[in-house]
Amino acid sequence: MKPAFSVIFLTTLIGAGQGLLIALVLGQFYLGSESGGFFALGGVLALVMLGLGLVASVFHLANPQRGWRAATRWRTSWLSREVLMIPALCALAFLYTLIHAIGWAPVLMTFGNGKTLDLPMALGLLVVLGSVALFVCTGMIYACVRFIRQWASSWTVVNYLLMGLASGFTLAAAYAQIQANALSGFMSGAALVLTVAALAARTFQLWLNARTKPQSTMKSAIGLHHTQIRQVTQGFMGQSFNTIEFAAPGGAETVRGLTVFFLLVAFVIPAALLLAGLPVLAFVCQYVGLLAERWVFFAAGSHVQNLYYQAKG
Amino acid sequence: MSKQLALVIDLNVCVGCHACVTSCKEWNTSGWAGPLTDENPYGKDPTGVFFNRVQTYECGTFPDTETIHFPKSCLHCEEPPCVPVCPTGASYKREEDGIVLVDYDKCIGCKYCSWSCPYGARKFDPVQGVMKKCTLCVDRITDMTIEEDRRKPACVLACPASARIFGDINDPQSEAARAIRENGGFQLMPEWGTKPANHYLPRRKITTILHADELVRVDNPLKAESEKPRPAFNTPTIDGVSSW
């Protein structure tokens, strides 16, 4: 598939934004329901990431002026569900940021063991739920495309979740270090664990994809029961949507080279930088690596329809 | 069963002349579904929107090969995977006749439907920024001002070999349904469960066995009526052998 930069930026930016939101709420929980400016400013940072992602997504649409219509088919389309979840999460994150900024923390519930649930924590839990739901929507957009066997797997959703969390926690570690916050160590540790987990899951999917077999063959494509079928001509000598959208520029060598690149730059080097106590550098490095990862994700997807487009002429 | 209009394409008849390709482009670029824009049409690397293409395949190893001309357009699936994934509802399947269409006024050009079609039937128009596809010439087959026997898709009317049959495949009496039933009509990539409405009729082996006595007929009437061999010059005539 042809990688679209709009979608590469959209998925990496909102992934890091969602991960950051989850990191903030977990940090808040870790510190024992703390509130205040650190979380408010962190919320603003996450909102910026989500907003930039939304801006990138607009560039993917050929007719963005009717983009609002994309919210109408949420019953059947994961894309529509994502379109609804992004603004919903933005709204929740905005409320979360606002409540922390004004420091309003009324107790909502008291549990049997004497612990309490205050408004910032309750909103935080909603933000976590929303973020996870958005990860599932984004992952499912690709995982439900049956005709691209490299995507049609639950590991696609797992990877979107893990890579988003890893980059979000690395960003949170960088932010905590700049703010000299007490959460710095917690965030760095969590980011390290998640980065290693994301590396493991992504490598596993690479391994799976190297072993998958195409479900359709030339036999079923043209319904001819012969073991040797080759295309003489696809019917035209120029290009068409079918030969542009479903092919990756650069071919298999670029995909192989960039795979090694992203495994190092998105996971291995950031993990080392996190261990060395350089989370800011780790985030920058990891983000660049994840851009390459997303490019490879698209480029490595081979669509069933390519069976019909093999011979120019 | 509800009506399902479709094409039945006879692979045994198609000669690969591309008349359906050009007539499709001509009708649809100037009609309801148009324009089917071309980019750089006379330049080095032309691209353009075509709803229908004829592809050519070869099977076997030389010299024992067979050539198959294979016209391909939208198959108007009974379970179209491209429709539910559309986030705007621009992509839809008509209840009344089963034609899968795109509402250009609702399409946002996200191309997601094209990913969900295993046949590569959807064609994105980068100029208008909307997804386009074969409409089964919906503007032609429903036009009551055209005489009834001409209310067929442009490709069907253009085919000089009558390789394309148009009709309601759910009506057992229709020519299309009968062709599928009686000639072993099949669907493309049935493994995906898309239930394409368009069917193809398979290649049929045509062999003629000739025996030597069929090449030279013993009772050839031409032989009886043809001119008899002339007698040699010294053959006796009837006058020479008869005493009268």
A77:B21 CB<8 A: no
Owner of token pair 């010294």: B234
CB contact under 8 A, A238 and B45: yes
Q: How far is CA A126 from the centre of its chain?
A: 19
Look at A69 and B108 and tell me if their CB atoms are within 8 Å.
yes
> Which of A167, A147, A148 has the alpha carbon at shortest distance from A159?
A167
Write the pLDDT tens digit of every residue in B159-193. Answer: 999 999 999 999 999 999 999 999 999 999 999 99
Instruction: Report the distance separating Cα B19 and Cα B69, nearest Å.
Output: 13
List the single residue in A with minimal CA-CA distance to B91.
A73
B123 touches chain A (CB under 8 A): yes
Structure ipTM: 0.92
Q: pLDDT tens digit string along A3-55?
A: 999 999 999 999 999 999 999 999 998 887 566 789 999 999 999 999 999 99
Give the whole-angstrom CA distance, residue A287 versus residue A293: 10
B141 vs A163, B135, B149, B151, B165, CA distance in Å? Answer: 52, 10, 10, 4, 13
Angle, in degrees to the nearest 10, between helices A5-30 and A37-58: 160
Residue ranges covered by each domain of chain B = 5-201, 212-241
**Per-residue pLDDT tens over the stretch B95-147:** 999 999 999 999 999 999 999 999 999 999 999 999 999 999 999 999 999 99
Is B5-201 CATH 3.30.70.20? yes
Contact A305 B72 (CB under 8 A): no
Q: What is the pLDDT of residue A33?
A: 59
Q: Block means of pLDDT (10 residues each) for chain A, length 313 residues?
A: 96 97 94 79 96 93 93 96 96 95 87 87 95 98 97 97 98 95 93 98 97 94 94 94 93 94 97 96 98 97 96 87
Mean pLDDT across chain B: 92
Task: Measure the CA–CA gap between B109 and A4, rounded to whole angstroms.
Answer: 13
Laid out side by side, the sheet with B5-10 consists of B164-168, B5-10, B199-201
Total Cβ atoms within 10 A of residue B17: 15
The Cα B113–Cα B102 span in angstroms is 10
What's the CATH number of domain A5-308, 3.30.2130.30, 1.20.1630.10, 3.40.640.10, 1.20.1050.10?
A: 1.20.1630.10
Note the pLDDT tens digit of each residue in B67-91. Answer: 999 999 999 999 999 999 999 999 9
Burial of A252 (0-12, 13-18, 19+ CB in 10 A): exposed
DSSP state for residue A35 in the 8-state scheme: -
Q: What is the pLDDT of residues A177-212, one digit of tens each?
A: 999 888 999 999 999 999 999 999 999 999 999 999
Q: Which two tokens stand for residue B45?
A: 């690397």
Interchain proximity B68–A224, CB inside 8 Å: yes
Torsion sign across C-alpha atoms B9, B12, B16, B17: negative
The count of C-alpha atoms lying within 13 angstroms of the C-alpha of B13, restricted to the half-sphere facing its C-beta, is: 14
How much is the pTM?
0.90
- Searching chain B, which residue's CA lies closest to the CA of residue A68? B88
From A252's Cα to the closest Cα of chain B, the distance in A is 20
